[in-house]
Amino acid sequence: MSDEIEIDTDDLERRMKGAMESLRTEFASLRTGRASASMVEPIMVDAYGSPTPINQIGTVNVPEPRMVTINVWDKALVGKAEKAIRDSGLGINPQLNGTIIMLPIPELNEERRRDLTRVAAQYAEHARVAIRNVRRDGMDQIKKAKGSGMSEDDQKFWESSVQELTDKMIAAVDQALEGKQAEIMQV
């Protein structure tokens, strides 16, 4: 009977990968001095009575390395989109040209680059905490299974496999952070 007790490591891995995806999304929203359509993805606009992602009210383009444009489809939403961009904390001053909102990306100074690397480190720490929480859930499942008759050898096997998965995901977070910090500090 004890041979039938198994821990769902696929679910744990899926949840840890979800933390990594969340980290990638947060990293994409960090401004690095180069224009990217993903930097406006987290911006929500109050459109038609509900918060709507900015990429669902217009077309987001990157026509040149230091410019993002948003061609808003509904003229009535241009002002709301502009306000949402100003309030987003991106530090970009939008310029209007009819229904097109232009976002010129200014060059980052050294102090702002250091601030952004600290923000990136905070995002990475949140991802590590999320991964460790998933690890704790896995270890709790193993303890419950031991109470249900799991052998000590099986318990050690599952604990080491959960720990191995955790170490692999935390290493991936650290690698993503190093890459993002290098990208931010690049002049």
Domain ranges of the chain: 9-29+109-185, 37-104
Per CATH, 9-29+109-185 and 37-104 having the same topology is answered no
**Angle (CA) 86 87 93, round 5°:** 15
In CATH, the number for domain 37-104 is 3.30.1360.40
Evaluate if residue 14 carries a pLDDT over 90.
yes
Task: Please indicate, yes or no, whether the overall pTM of this predicted structure exceeds 0.85.
Answer: no
Share of the chain above pLDDT 90, in %: 45
pLDDT for 130-186, tens place per residue? 999 999 999 999 999 888 888 889 899 999 999 999 999 999 999 999 999 888 887
CATH of range 9-29+109-185; options 3.40.50.300, 1.10.132.20, 1.10.300.10, 2.30.110.10: 1.10.132.20
Count CB neighbours of 12 within 10 A: 22
Q: Please name the amino acid found at residue 34.
A: R
Q: How confident is the model at residue 4 (pLDDT cuts 50, 70, 90)?
A: low
Look over the chain and give the mean of its residue pLDDT values, rounded to a whole number: 87
What pLDDT, on the 0 to 100 scale, is given for residue 2? 42
